[in-house]
Structure 1
Amino acid sequence: MNKVILCSLIGSAVALPLLFASAPVSAAEVKVTWENAEKYTDVRPANESRKRFRERTLAALEEHIVELASKLPDSQKLTMTVTNVDLAGQVWPSQFVGFGVGAANDVRVIQRVDIPRMTFSYTLSDKQGAVISSAEEVQLKDMNFMESNIRQNRGDTLSYEKIMLEDWFNDTFTTNVAANEE
């Protein structure tokens, strides 16, 4: 058992500097506001409290947005106000989907008709606060989410929503990302 712990500690000591070495040197500042999150269409858990699931889910989405924004120049600021989230799929009582009456847990069932959606406004500005790009109401949805997810790991938490955000980000900020890579 000591060998396992030692290897784990050594692995962590080796991996930690590599993690920082691969982290972006410069990245845009990001501010995400989750407006009235308790009223979002579907940020519903299968097997935990709604509040804890919502907090965990929104934190994971925000972390992904920050990761995407790391491609933007550090002289820029991305501000987003999210007004609605509708996760892919629907949560159903387990007995409704064939797990029997004794099964106590709910399950999230992913079907083609239950597409992921997100509504938000955003502003991308420079150091002086001049607006580079903005939109008042982006209604993001991925009607082809089940096919587009083939390129990613289906086991990744919120993979459908993350791919949808990544596609939007790449389509919207292509010139800004290119400017950072020069």
Structure 2
Amino acid sequence: MFRAAFIALASGLVLTPVQAGVVANYDVLAQSHDRALRSESDRRSVAAELDRHIQRLGERYLAAEQDLHIEFTRIDLAGEYEPWRTGWQDVRILRDVTPPRIHFHYTLLQNGKPVRRGEARLSDMNYLSDPRARGDSDLLVHEKLLLDDWFRKSFR
């Protein structure tokens, strides 16, 4: 029995359950006009933060045999820098007219086969009124809430 387990592990067979996964493409960030995404390090930081969040959502909402492929086509962060404000050049000002926007194409795979494809266009004009964001110091809280809502509605 020990020998069979060793052979199975050595040959690459996994004896643990397969985990659901999300694969996301953030190439669109390189073409963004958002001042917060102008530098490569800023784009990497935003992509990494969103990716961590999306992975957690995938673990929570997707079945073990499901995978989700996402290709972002637009990401506009909530708020905007207002460079005319002296002393506030590095502060993102949140206003009703600058909501977060996230657009993407997605493919849901079940056991490696596509079962659903679609496009999502997420935005929330009332994002400043969302009580879930109050007191949260996360810089991407509004974008994450958009993704939370979409995953909850799409994969209950």
Which TM-score band applies after superposition, normalised by the shorter structure?
Answer: 0.7 to 0.9
Is the alpha carbon distance of 1:151 and 1:80 closer, same or farther for their aligned partners in structure 2, counting shifts above 3 Å?
same
Using the size of structure 2 for normalisation, the TM-score is 0.79
Following TM superposition, where does structure 1 have runs of at least 4 consecutive aligned residues deviating by more than 3 angstroms? Answer: none
> What residue is the counterpart of 1:65 in the other structure?
54
Counterpart of 1:110 in structure 2: which amino acid?
L
Is the alpha carbon distance of 1:124 and 1:91 closer, same or farther for their aligned partners in structure 2, counting shifts above 3 Å?
same
Give the number of aligned pairs: 138
Are residues 1:30 and 2:22 paired? yes
What is the root-mean-square deviation of aligned Cα atoms in Å? Answer: 2.1
CA distance in 2 between counterparts of 1:76 and 1:120 reads 18
> What residue is the counterpart of 2:109 in the other structure?
125
CA distance in 1 between counterparts of 2:52 and 2:91 reads 25
Using the size of structure 1 for normalisation, the TM-score is 0.69
Q: Any conservation in 2 of the 1:41–1:85 contact (CA below 8 Å)? A: no
> What residue is the counterpart of 1:45 in the other structure?
36
Greater fraction of residues in helix: 1
CA distance in 2 between counterparts of 1:106 and 1:91 reads 7
Which segments of 5 or more consecutive residues in structure 2 lack a partner in the other structure?
1-16
CA distance in 2 between counterparts of 1:109 and 1:69 reads 31
Listed as ranges, the matches of 1:1-182 within 5 Å are: 27-42=19-34, 44-45=35-36, 50-71=39-60, 72-93=62-83, 96-97=84-85, 100=86, 103=87, 105-131=89-115, 133-135=116-118, 137-148=119-130, 150-152=131-133, 153-174=135-156
Tell me how far 1:78 sits from its aligned partner.
0.5
Counterpart of 1:69 in structure 2: which amino acid?
G
Counterpart of 1:45 in structure 2: which amino acid?
A
Question: What percentage of residue pairs aligned between the two structures are identical?
Answer: 33
